[in-house]
């Protein structure tokens, strides 16, 4: 569909990932803007209908985009159906011309009656931008737990997502969900494998003693446990101790634990700031929540 903005005619397109030329153009803009490899994700077969680009093209190339990701969560037995807005980007030659305003208005209009709210993660250069669309800055919270020194270590097996057996194990455990999370996400294996095949590829483990998949990173004396997937059963502290290395003194969680009594809680800080539109934002303060780290699109 052709539209006229700021004196120029643009082609407005959505959900075109099966068109190689346009997909490559989107990949180029995403790579140059954020360092994202959307083409690898597509070729792995993981780009499904839960990542929907809304784009403006000029001269046959994508010059502005935001992507819509319908997201399903569980919180205290209740289902939350939200839409995450991500990959918001404009080619440098086209900035300041209202292209993202147009795309945001279209996305919000398309999905307002299909979800309970919208959210996105903004960098600190755009904090004044998103309130124009009705988004409000919303605080997330980080949970961490001290681990007992000298806790017994149990063998964890590294998983390689390109191996069929390991991929099947990852998928099966993703479908079981995180038994330790107060706010858990589901129905989006494509996004899960985007992370597993990308920045977190070297940080996937299987704990056979607990039948759990762990996404875990180590830095100094800190274990960053981004996700735990599987049936659960063992106490969270015991699982984290099993993941700990000899030098590990504490664990920082990439999710909100169901039982946070042993955790210290503080506001989550970092480059990304949560903006929310909708009544469900109240849950984040009431229950000291964060969106699961791997649910970020």
- Stretches where the chain sits below pLDDT 70 are 149-154
Pick one of 3.20.20.190, 3.40.630.30, 1.10.150.450, 3.30.413.10 as the CATH number of 2-140+269-295.
3.40.630.30
Q: What is the pLDDT of residues 31-85, one digit of tens each?
A: 999 999 999 999 999 999 999 999 999 999 999 999 999 999 999 989 999 999 9
Domain residues of the chain, as ranges?
2-140+269-295, 142-267
Separate counts of helices (H) and strands (E) for the chain? 7, 16
Architecture of domain 142-267: 3-Layer(aba) Sandwich (3.40)
Q: What is the pLDDT of residue 140?
A: 97
Q: What is the pLDDT of residues 222-238, one digit of tens each?
A: 999 999 999 989 999 99
Q: What is the pLDDT of residue 149?
A: 59
Bridge pairing between strands 141-146 and 2-5: unpaired
Q: What is the pLDDT of residues 119-135, one digit of tens each?
A: 999 998 899 999 999 99
Per-residue CA distances from 90 to 43, 129, 132, 272 (Å): 24, 14, 18, 18
If you search the block for the tokens 């970092």, which residue do you land on? 270
């Amino acid at each position: 569909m052709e539209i006229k903005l700021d004196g120029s005619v643009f082609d407005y397109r959505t959900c075109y990932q099966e068109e190689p030329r346009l997909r490559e153009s989107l990949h180029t803009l995403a790579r140059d803007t954020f360092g994202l490899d959307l083409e690898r994700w597509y070729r792995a077969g993981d780009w499904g209908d839960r990542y929907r680009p809304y784009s403006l093209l000029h001269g046959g190339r994508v010059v502005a985009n935001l992507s819509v990701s319908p997201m399903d969560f569980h919180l205290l037995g209740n289902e939350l159906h939200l839409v995450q807005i991500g990959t918001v980007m404009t080619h440098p030659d086209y900035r300041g011309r209202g292209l993202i305003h147009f795309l945001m208005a279209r996305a919000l209009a398309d999905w307002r009656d299909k979800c309970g709210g919208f959210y996105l993660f903004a960098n600190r250069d755009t904090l004044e931008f998103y309130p124009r669309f009705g988004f409000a800055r919303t605080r997330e919270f980080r949970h961490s737990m001290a681990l007992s020194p000298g806790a017994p270590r149990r063998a964890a097996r590294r998983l390689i997502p390109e191996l069929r057996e390991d991929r099947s194990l990852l998928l099966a455990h993703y479908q079981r969900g995180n038994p330790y999370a107060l706010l858990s996400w589901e129905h989006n294996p494509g996004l899960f494998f985007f992370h597993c095949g990308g920045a977190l590829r070297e940080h996937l483990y299987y704990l056979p003693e607990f039948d759990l998949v762990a996404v875990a990173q180590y830095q100094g004396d800190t274990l960053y446990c981004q996700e735990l997937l599987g049936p659960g059963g063992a106490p969270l502290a015991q699982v984290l101790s099993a993941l700990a290395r000899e030098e590990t003194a504490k664990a920082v969680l990439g999710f909100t634990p169901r039982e946070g009594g042993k955790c210290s809680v503080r506001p989550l800080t970092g480059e990304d700031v949560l903006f929310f539109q909708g009544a469900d934002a109240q849950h984040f303060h009431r229950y000291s929540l964060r969106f699961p780290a791997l649910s970020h699109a």
